[in-house]
Each structure stands twice: as C-alpha cells, then as structure tokens.
Structure 1
Amino acid sequence: MGLQFYLLSIFIGIVCGSITSLIGASGVMVIVPILTMFFNISVHAAIGTSLFVDVVASLTVSYSYYKNGNIDLKSSIWIALTSIIGAQLGASLASNMGESNLSSSFGIVLIIAGLSMLLKSYKNKTSSPNKINKFICFKSEWQKILASLIIGLGIGVLSGVFGAGGGVMILFALISIMSFPLHKAIGTSTLIMAITALSSTIGYAAKGNINFMLSALISIGAILGGIIGSRYANNINEKTLKKIVGICFTLMGVIMTILAKLK
C-alpha cells in the first residue's frame, strides 16, 4: 500500500463528508460501491467500514448545525431510540444474506435513491414541503412521539441491512411528516444518522466486518469534507448538486447490480 492508496482513501472521505454536510445523505452510498469495486473488499466489510466513517462524518456535520441552532434534540432522542433497535435487527439480517444477494440489493437501493434525487431536482420550484405538511396534522404530542418511534424503527432496519445511516429517509420524514424547516431537518437527521450508524457499526464490528485501517483513513477525509461542506452548504446550488449525486448513485447502482449477477 503506497501513497496513492492513502491519498485515495482520504479523498473518498472528503467526498463522503461533503455529501453528508450538503444534502444530509449518508456517505455510505459512495463508500460501499468504491470499496467493493476498486479496493476488492467484501460487501459486508465495505458496509461495516462505511458505517464507521458515517458515524464520524455525521457527528462532525451535526455539531456544525448544532452551533447554528438547527437541531431538534427532543425529536432526535425519540427517533434514535427505536432506530438503534432496528439497526441491530437489520445488521443481523444482513449477516445471513449471501454476498451476491447483498450486492444486488444494495445496487437496487442505489438506483432508487439516484432516480429519486434526479426527480426531485427537476421538480417545479413552486413545489414546497409545506404543501405536503398540510395533509398531516398531529392533534397531540403523543401522536408525534409515536410517529417518531415508528419512523426510527423503519430507518434503523434499513440502516443495518444496507449500511446507510438513513439520512435521506430521515430528512424526508422530518419535512413531510414532522413539518420541520429544511435547515433544522438536515441538522436533526444528521444527528440521528450518527446514532443509528453507531448502533449498526457495533453490530458489524462484533462480526469482524470492519477494516479499521481504511476506516481511520477515510474518516480523516470525512472530517475535512464535513467541516468544509457545512461552511458552504448555503452557497451551493442544491438542484445542480442533486442532479450530479443522483446520476452518480444511479450509475454505481447499475454497475453493482450487474457485477452481482455475474458472480
């Protein structure tokens, strides 16, 4: 392993941290395909490693949002409670899945996520999350808490299976169901993502599915990317960024799915 290996690992981390800070998405979507396709690492180890990095990147980004008052700690706690349980269930389920099945499943998730981001980037500017929020109304606090617990459980399971901290899913839920403003939704979802990813990381570490050297190198880049991305998040054209990331996700998902079928 030479200098190129170390530099590439750190660069991957920078991309991961930047994505997390700018659009609230888990960097897992970038790390897993790269580690499996170019570093010749098994899918299980790639997911475990990416979850480790996800914790570091998400904590870095959420701290930045917290300093600006854009995190709802109360909602974070309720969603995190069940997401931790769901993450452990998901991690156990993933360990019983075959390498090929897990690769193709992750590829499909990437394609869906990519196409979803592309569709959102082409939405009419007049569309607003507030229009969705009007159809959902909680009459009491316990209904919001119950919704938070259910959301957390579902996101946790998906996180454990596919190695994704669930940032995009949490973000959508906070905006459309919990009626959060965008900035507070991103900050809160990133904190929840860190907690969920940590739970999943423990599950993968217990089964020896984490490459700690790669995790450390990529995490260095993730911290740098998270700090830089958080600082300039409000100055970047969100629609253009969504198009770029959506295309990348879709292409990587197609490649992973094809390679899984060829194995």
Structure 2
Amino acid sequence: MAVVVGVLTGSITSLIGASGVMIIVPILTMFFHVSIHNAIGTSLFVDVIASLTVSYSYFKKGNIDLKSGIWIALTSIIGAQFGASWANKMGAANLSAVFGIVMILAGFSLLRKGFQTEDDSSKPIGRFLNFNKEYQKIIAALLIGLGIGILSGLFGAGGGVMILLALTVLMSFPLHKAIGTSTMIMAITALSSTIGYASRGNIDLVIGSFIAAGAVIGGIVGSKFANNMIEKTLQKVVGIFFMAMGVIMAAIVIIKSVNIH
C-alpha cells in the first residue's frame, strides 16, 4: 500500500506541483497509525525525493525559472526551520485540526482556479502589484519564500500549493513553468524542513522509503503526460480531493475530542 501511495503522490506532484503531504499525512495517520509529527516528517522526506525527480523532468523541458526560484528558496529554507520548531511545540490534536483547515483552504483555491474563465485568469494580482523593477521582484520573491517556508515547516506541506498559487497569482507565471519552478523550490524547502524533523526523530524511514520509491515512479510517468493534461479539469478534481481529506481530518479530531470529554 505504501508504494501505491507513493505512485499517487509522485503523479500529483508532477501534474500540478502539489506537495505529497496532502496525501501522505492523512493516510499515514488514519491507516498506518503514525503520529501526526512523524507523518509530517516522513511526508517531507518523500517530498524531497519526489520533487527532485519531477523538477528534473520539467527542467529538461525548459519549464523552470531558476532565477526567481533560487530567491524564493533562499528565504524558504529559513522559514522552514521556524515552522518545524513551532510545529514540535504544538499538540498533535491542534496540529491535525489546523492541518485539516489548511487542506480545505488549499483545495478551495485549486477548485476556484479550475472554474476561472480566461477573462478572470488574465487579471493576475501581480499586475496590480507592478513588479517592474528587478529589486521589487527580488524582494517579493524573498518575502514569498519566507512565508512558504514557515507554512512548509509547520504543516509539512513543502509549500507546493502555496508556491504554485504565489507564482501564478502574484508573479504571473505560466502554469507549466509555475509547476516546474514550484517543484524545484519544494525540493529545497522540504529538505530544510526534513532536517528539522529528523533532528527530533520524527521520520519513519522504513515507510518513507517505500512511499518514496513509488513517488519516483509516479513522478517520472506523470511528468511525461503533464503537458498533455487539461489543467483546469485536474485542478477541480484534486481541489475536491484536498477539501474532502481536510474535512475528514478535522472531523476525526472533533470526534476524538468529543469521546475524550
């Protein structure tokens, strides 16, 4: 089952640049009975391998903006360490509940983007922020990276969905280049967060290795088909999936809380 989860994770990462944490964390906590902290640490470990595989495939197609990606990754590393430190101080129930909410919001964002018309998508926020000068773009990339890093370390998200939204909405990236750049940044950010979780012993290397093996397969196959996929349809499906998983995780926390009291 772990390998199958990995294949699904690699496929999702390659097709929309989303972090595998959205799939791995709920499955590890619900079916493998792994603690939320270990589940997040393990998901980050898998994210590093899956993202490197996918980003290399996109790089070969010329769909990575190295310049912007490096600036974002620079501060995301710092933010990831803060996030990982704060996550370790949060209770498992609180972390699960907040993670569920993040999943719902991320899913809603993807679903909304999938229903946008061409007129809507042609009006990016980045146009109003007016990043015309090089130093403005660099500052924006550094601030975006810091925020993404904190979210990555806190929720183990590797920043996938947040990076993708930031690149497409704030920085007006074409979708394919946004996905390629997102996975490259995600690999770097997830590595920083993984180190933070590993130092606290919150990674299951056995399960993680099986999932990672499947993620490599899914990432390679998914990347080959990515350019032929209809992005909006995929965004709708994955958005609904994320929202459903988020609701399930939040519901489990509520049920456990009611049973305890």
Query: Normalising to structure 2: TM-score of the pair?
Result: 0.94
Matches within 5 A, 1:157-168: 157-168=150-161
Structure 2 residue 54 is matched with structure 1 residue 53: no
How far off is 1:132 after superposition? 3.7
Partner in structure 1 of residue 189 of structure 2: 196
Distance in 1 between residues matched to 2:252 and 2:169, nearest whole Å:
36
How far off is 1:133 after superposition? 3.8
Match of 2:199 among 206, 223, 235: 206
One-letter code of the match for 1:177?
L
SS at 1:236 equivalent: coil
Structure 2 residue 209 is matched with structure 1 residue 216: yes
How far off is 1:179 after superposition? 2.7
* Conserved? CA contact 2:63–2:176, under 8 Å: yes
Greater mean deviation of Cα atoms: 232-241 or 150-159: 232-241
Structure 2 residue 52 is matched with structure 1 residue 75: no
Change (3 A) 1:88 1:129: farther
* Conserved? CA contact 1:129–1:175, under 8 Å: no
Partner in structure 2 of residue 95 of structure 1: 88
Change (3 A) 1:256 1:131: closer
One-letter code of the match for 1:219?
A
SS at 1:127 equivalent: helix
Q: Which runs of 5+ in 2 are unaligned?
A: 257-261
Partner in structure 1 of residue 239 of structure 2: 246
Distance in 2 between residues matched to 1:129 and 1:103, nearest whole Å:
36
Structure 2 residue 6 is matched with structure 1 residue 18: no
Partner in structure 1 of residue 174 of structure 2: 181
* Conserved? CA contact 1:94–1:161, under 8 Å: yes
Structure 2 residue 43 is matched with structure 1 residue 41: no
How many residues align? The count is: 256
Partner in structure 1 of residue 140 of structure 2: 147
RMSD of Structure 2 on Structure 1 (CA): 1.3
* Conserved? CA contact 2:176–2:227, under 8 Å: no
| Runs of 4+ more than 6 Å apart | none
Distance in 1 between residues matched to 2:94 and 2:10, nearest whole Å:
28
* Conserved? CA contact 1:26–1:54, under 8 Å: yes
SS at 1:135 equivalent: helix
Distance in 2 between residues matched to 1:93 and 1:152, nearest whole Å:
18
Greater mean deviation of Cα atoms: 169-178 or 23-32: 169-178
Change (3 A) 1:239 1:180: closer
Distance in 2 between residues matched to 1:81 and 1:51, nearest whole Å:
18
Distance in 1 between residues matched to 2:132 and 2:214, nearest whole Å:
44
CA deviation string 1:49-76 (max 9, x = no partner): 0000000010000000111111111112
One-letter code of the match for 1:169?
M
One-letter code of the match for 1:86?
G
One-letter code of the match for 1:205?
A
Q: Percent identity?
A: 66
SS at 2:120 equivalent: coil
SS at 1:39 equivalent: coil
Partner in structure 1 of residue 259 of structure 2: none
* Conserved? CA contact 1:79–1:148, under 8 Å: yes
